[in-house]
Amino acid sequence: MAIQKEIWVDYIAENLYMNNEFLKLCMVADDRVDGKTVHMASAGTAASVTRNRTVLPATVVQRTDDDNSYDIDEFTIDPTLIPNADKAELAYDKMDSIMYDIMQGLSDDVGDWMLYNWRATSSSYQVRTTGGTSSAYLTGATGNRKKLMAADIQTMSRTFNHAKVPGNDRYMLLDAYLYNQLLMDLRFGEFRDTVKEADLAKGVIGDLFGFKILMRHTVLDYTNADTPVARTPDAASLTSANGAALCWQKAAVERAFGTIEVFEEEGSASYYGDIISGLVRAGGIKRRYDGVGVGAIIQTVIS
């Protein structure tokens, strides 16, 4: 039987959220994708407000918006062979099994690069960890790092408040190591009574200092420069790399999914079976040039 392309396109679209629930906690721009570009205007400086104005006529100002358009990436799936013998002899649905395996890797890649697109770049919105000593855990990283503490989340909350970031819809994504460090601090530290909707015994943190705490297997890692720089998901290992949590307010970040396509070569004479491949277009961006509404809590190296 021929591959039902529409079914697999829908399957890919639905499973892009596999391990990527955070992709639902942002602004969505799927309808603004033009080919491989998303067009977005970033609001310029707002008009000022004067109390008890005495000088008339008032000076007329015009807001200048910046073009914050961005390209989306193309994630291609390696061509996969479905041998004719498998189709004839196997009792289970080979195609479904293959697509599930493909989606594991595809959703990881899309999620990793989306987080990199949202990375915090300004030192004004970067906080360093302040806890006790722990071993470096990133692949290739060496030495010791300070643990993530609840007090560090409180510092980020104050940073957001100072920048007048809306208090609703704030999220923080931690990898498993940082999540566990925070969990241990909350169970035994000074802030153990401040967590809302928490079940610390079961490992559920919930809300903390206005952030909804989420966990993913990987998030971001940064260099150890004075102003740390986020490293791309495909970067080589680095001994001084530091794990990081990403913090954002929903309106501060955006994602866009473009075309999803599935390709097939049925009955290949060279490979004695069917060949399937596909591609997904996805991208994202911080919605403000000044980076307000996006922050990172980065490990501190212990020298």
What's the pLDDT band for 37 if we cut at 50, 70, 90?
confident
In the predicted structure, residue 1 carries a pLDDT above the cut 50: no
Helix axes 94-117, 5-15, angle to 10 degrees: 40
Q: Going from the N-terminus, what domains does the chain have, and what CATH number goes with each?
A: 5-41+63-117+254-286 (3.30.2400), 123-252+290-302 (no CATH)
Cα angle 83, 88, 92 (rounded to 5 degrees) comes to 90
Identify which has the larger pLDDT, 76 or 101.
Answer: 76
Residue 46's pLDDT band (boundaries 50, 70, 90)? Answer: low
Is the whole model's pTM more than 0.95, yes or no? no
Q: Residue range 77-89: average pLDDT?
A: 71
pLDDT tens track for 271-280: 888 888 888 9
Encode pLDDT of 115-170 as tens digits. 999 999 999 999 999 999 999 999 999 999 999 999 999 999 999 999 999 999 99
* Of 191 and 291, more confident: 291
pLDDT on residue 144? 98
- Closest Cα to residue 245, out of 173, 181, 148, 186? 173
